Structure 1
Amino acid sequence: MNEENGKNNKPFEYETNNLIRSNFNEKESVQDLENIAPKPSNQLTNGLLGWYSVSSSESIKEGKLNHFTIYNEPLVLYRDREGIVRCVKDVCPHRGASFLGGEVINGQLVCPYHGARFSSQGSCTNLDRITCQHIIDSNYDSYAKSIKLFQYPCVEKEGYIYIYYTGTPLANIEDFQIKSSINSLLPDSYGFPSLEYEYEEVYVDFKADWARIIENHLDILHVFWMHGDTIPDKNVNRETITSFNQKIKRDNRQIESIYSYKTNGQEEFIRIKFVPPGRIFIYKGSPESTRYIQVLDHIPLGNNKARVIVRHYRKFLKNKLFTNLVLFSHLQRRTFYKIFTEDYLVLKTQTFNDQMGYIQKDNVKLLGEDKMVQYYWDWLQNALNKEKPWDIHPTNSLTNTVHEDRGMQYPPENPNMAIKNNRQIIIKLLTRLLFPISFILLLI
């Protein structure tokens, strides 16, 4: 990885010993550590505008619309007649209606207001003609040629849907100047071939600041205290709180933090990679030997609204018949939902405190173990100042809340899916118990 970045992009490394204890020596605050570790010559190349993973492939069903927002801008995903996923601005260019309540008919996007149809032309990626059969107008042919949907580049890879987000969709997809490579986000670029793994996946929605959620997921050490009773790992709980060595590396596409035990021959405990703008990789152990990898994609839906796609890859329990029998996926989803519910109150209160101006340098004290968090905030502040993504589609107190009201579909904000999953566990367990009992009764 370092070789491909070039001679001048040698990763900067920062190394310290970190205790996961409340009595950590305050002399090793981030401000003191800045004096120990020189500023690196290389910085993260990608900012806040660029490639985002916004959905899984499985979620984009043929003939269905998938609505979401990003930085407050309403967008819609669907598959055209060739099965290619399109991402368009959720505004009909005929009269400005949304496609909420609309349809996909034979791969054409149909507006619910007047039945205007938008189609892609062969292999062309443009959606450049309305075929509204209900409007009788002698000038219709000229009108249909000049009106177009606005869209973003959209790519489907390894079960993910990525869009190249700039804040300004274009009528002609070929007019986009792609300034960053999607390869910088792909799992295969970071030490594991994803197709060799099985995975479970959930979506989680938060009414909290997007940036705070990323910070929470970079802070892997809080899991000992907050999630020790939930995570099915006997080595991660309040009783096993221990100390680690930490090494932080940075190059032009990632920030990486490696935690290794001070005992056990310096064995690696966990590794975290932040790849901007919103992807995090978490390896249980070193990338070469890990059997378990978590990928989290963070989507800034809007003000105080964010979605996370959580995918847990594994090299064990790959037999689908067995995993279905033991309800492995259902039990995993239950664990995921519980973990994020445990985080939720902290995230909401942090968001409030930040917006009230309570989280300032003089009011919070970062420790040595928070160094990765500090690097993340440095990158974020620079990107916000440079790109200002929240200023592109601003909302105010008078803005209609139609997209906000329907946007929170998943736990922990909307508990319905968690309730449904728990109900399915109970029903399937009862079914598995009733079958042998019925068989025994028949024999009797």
Structure 2
Amino acid sequence: MSVAIATAAALSLPIYLTRSNKFNNTRGVKGSFRVFAIIGEEGGGLVERSKSLWTTLFEVEDPRSKVPQYNKGKFLDVNQALEVARYDLQYCDWKARQDVLTIMLLHEKVVEVLNPLAREYKSVGTLKKELADLQEELGQAHNQVHISEARVSTALDKLAYLETLVTDKILQDSNTTESDLLPSTPESLDTVKSKPPRRNINVSGPVQPYHANLKNFWYPVAFSAHLKDDTMVPIDCFERPWVLFRGKDGKPGCVQNTCAHRACPLDLGSINEGRIQCPYHGWEYSTDGKCEKMPSTKLVNVKIKALPCFEQEGMIWIWPGNDPPMANLPSLLPPSGFQIHAEIVMELPVEHGLLLDNLLDLAHAPFTHTSTFAKGWSVPSLVKFLTPASGLQGSWDPYPIDMEFRPPCLVLSTIGISKPGKLEGQSTRECSTHLHQLHVCLPSTRNKTRLLYRMSLDFAPILKHVPFMQHLWKHFAEQVLNEDLRLVLGQQDRMNNGDNVWNWPVSYDKLGVRYRQWRDSVEQRSKSSPFSNLRRIQNPLNE
């Protein structure tokens, strides 16, 4: 038997330098160093066998010789494109292995230089030079690994994009009859080639005044529980001040928050027998905006603007547009089996479209929400939003979260959870407990949003009866939003200075992109919306 020194890289084990706690009998010095060598067979057979265990990981054939050759300028079908992407990934895998192998071999050299039992006697100057050279080579090798990582990321993005194309193609084909299919003729290929490129999304520059078409929707503006018989709720909607209050019959009303007499804010006054009283001279208005009382003067026919307003599903709705109110509106009730645990209202200093962009994006969670709900989340190699070709709802992969945008400004999500801060399963259907969220982003002004947040659970009903639980939910919601706000405010500042906040959408931006497409179609008053799968309930004004 002989003593053989195996390198750290070869055996995935370090050369142990341990400090002894006993006196050295030879030198009588406490705390001397001892080198533990690895005992192997004559000729280093153990070392060679150990090396073979990891060198086989790098014996992968260069795939470049097998890549199918296509003529330059030829349009590839989906299957051919997927094949090319597959070879891209194989090449990235091969190149990454070569880069790692280079680093491991360089580490071997470092160990060989530093190992006192495996090197010849060398001067300190020679050692320094060798180590400096090796350090430079290691730096270059590590840079090459980063390049390989970027290549892998690019290849994965290609696959995600192709997967989206395949999904959309399958859905399109499922709605197309065989008689609608045309043969592949040169003319049809020319038609495909001449198809105009996809229009980019441009959201840049100062926020423009809201388009009138965007106002022609029912907007939820307050929770019913927050509007008592003797209270007023002032709101801004599309840069106009309004105030909510209940009339004599208990039904809610919404009138302009400006007295017709001297333009005093009405919400500074009080409620008197179902009428809102101005604090300046006591003029009183009913829920339809008519002035019914003018103290100290003769009553004249005066009326302030009032909006169509009603109450349903625990929320107060208004119609701020000039068109006649629609007969349908989105349903906001949580799914069956859920109980509402919190209803929170916040005023946020951001444009409502930017806030919707943020809420419709989950890929940012492990980077942004590291102190709240996403603490400890790993960063997936690929995040996808799975949705039909023309849908405004779908599910996130790899997270067990379903999400939906409902016009004009609502985001609903259902999250599968196992315990606070932990996700489980690959889909919400596989999870035993769930959290349901509703976010309403009311456009108050061009740089301000009124956010209504409702949280529901399908477990732990006792939490509804815990004192001060509402305050805890609000505290947590504010923590999460503050993590987002610092970023969205930065976006808003740069957008106002001309930067495009949708400059380079990628595959996981699908739902946010579709919101922007929906909004563009509304502002352009398209005859048919690109998205028509909207759930509706009956408008009680027509009952």
Q: Which amino acid aligns with 1:237?
A: G
Q: Provide the aligned length of Structure 1 versus Structure 2.
A: 324
SS in 1 for 2:228: coil
Q: What's the C-alpha RMSD, in Å, of the aligned pairs?
A: 3.3
Gaps of 5+ in 2: 1-81, 83-148, 176-212, 417-426, 527-543
Map residues 309-320 of structure 1 onto 2, 5 A cutoff.
309-320=452-463
Give the Cα–Cα distance (whole angstroms) in 2 for the partners of residues 75 and 213 of structure 1: 22
Structure 2 vs 1, CA of residues 203 and 31 (structure 1 numbering), >3 Å: closer, same or farther? farther
1:212 paired residue number: 354
2:295 paired residue number: 133
How much does 1:64 deviate? 1.9
TM-score by length of 1: 0.65
Gaps of 5+ in 1: 1-15, 121-125, 169-175, 262-267, 388-444
TM-score by length of 2: 0.54
Give the Cα–Cα distance (whole angstroms) in 2 for the partners of residues 322 and 64 of structure 1: 25
Q: Which amino acid aligns with 2:354?
A: R
Does residue 118 (structure 1) correspond to residue 285 (structure 2)? The answer is yes
> Structure 1 stretch 313-322 or stretch 338-347: which is displaced more?
313-322
How much does 1:193 deviate? 3.6
- 1:201 pairs with 340, 343, 368, which one? 343
Give the number of the structure with larger relative contact order, counting CA–CA contacts within 8 Å between residues 6 or more apart.
Answer: 1
- 1:374 pairs with 513, 532, 543, which one? 513
Contact kept, 8 Å, 1:51 with 1:180, in 2: the verdict is: no
How much does 1:185 deviate? 3.3
- 2:243 pairs with 47, 60, 76, which one? 76
- 1:301 pairs with 444, 468, 475, which one? 444
Contact kept, 8 Å, 1:250 with 1:256, in 2: the verdict is: no
Give the Cα–Cα distance (whole angstroms) in 1 for the partners of residues 497 and 162 of structure 2: 24
> 1:81-136, CA deviations, whole angstroms, 9 ceiling, x for partnerless residues?
2221111112223344331422111111111222111235xxxxx3434211321x
How much does 1:54 deviate? 0.8
SS in 2 for 1:221: coil
Structure 2 vs 1, CA of residues 48 and 221 (structure 1 numbering), >3 Å: closer, same or farther? farther
Q: Which structure features the higher share of strand residues?
A: 1
Structure 2 vs 1, CA of residues 245 and 33 (structure 1 numbering), >3 Å: closer, same or farther? closer
How much does 1:384 deviate? 3.2
Give the Cα–Cα distance (whole angstroms) in 1 for the partners of residues 476 and 361 of structure 2: 19
Does residue 352 (structure 1) correspond to residue 493 (structure 2)? The answer is yes
How much does 1:294 deviate? 0.4
1:273 paired residue number: 404
> 1:15-68, CA deviations, whole angstroms, 9 ceiling, x for partnerless residues?
x9xxxx993545468799679846989xxxx95531111111122122222111
Contact kept, 8 Å, 2:160 with 2:384, in 1: the verdict is: no
Give the Cα–Cα distance (whole angstroms) in 2 for the partners of residues 119 and 246 of structure 1: 48
1:156 paired residue number: 311
Give the Cα–Cα distance (whole angstroms) in 2 for the partners of residues 97 and 34 of structure 1: 57
Structure 2 vs 1, CA of residues 30 and 93 (structure 1 numbering), >3 Å: closer, same or farther? farther
SS in 2 for 1:75: strand
Q: Which amino acid aligns with 1:277?
A: P
Q: Which has the larger radius of gyration?
A: 2
How much does 1:211 deviate? 0.4
How much does 1:230 deviate? 0.8
1:58 paired residue number: 225
> 1:215-259, CA deviations, whole angstroms, 9 ceiling, x for partnerless residues?
00000221222113311x7xx6343646455311366xx610212
Does residue 247 (structure 1) correspond to residue 247 (structure 2)? The answer is no
SS in 2 for 1:246: strand
Structure 2 vs 1, CA of residues 244 and 221 (structure 1 numbering), >3 Å: closer, same or farther? closer
Structure 2 vs 1, CA of residues 134 and 58 (structure 1 numbering), >3 Å: closer, same or farther? same
Contact kept, 8 Å, 1:227 with 1:237, in 2: the verdict is: no
SS in 2 for 1:237: coil
What is the identity percentage for the equivalent residue pairs of Structure 1 and Structure 2?
Answer: 20
How much does 1:322 deviate? 5.9
Structure 2 vs 1, CA of residues 360 and 214 (structure 1 numbering), >3 Å: closer, same or farther? closer
1:85 paired residue number: 252
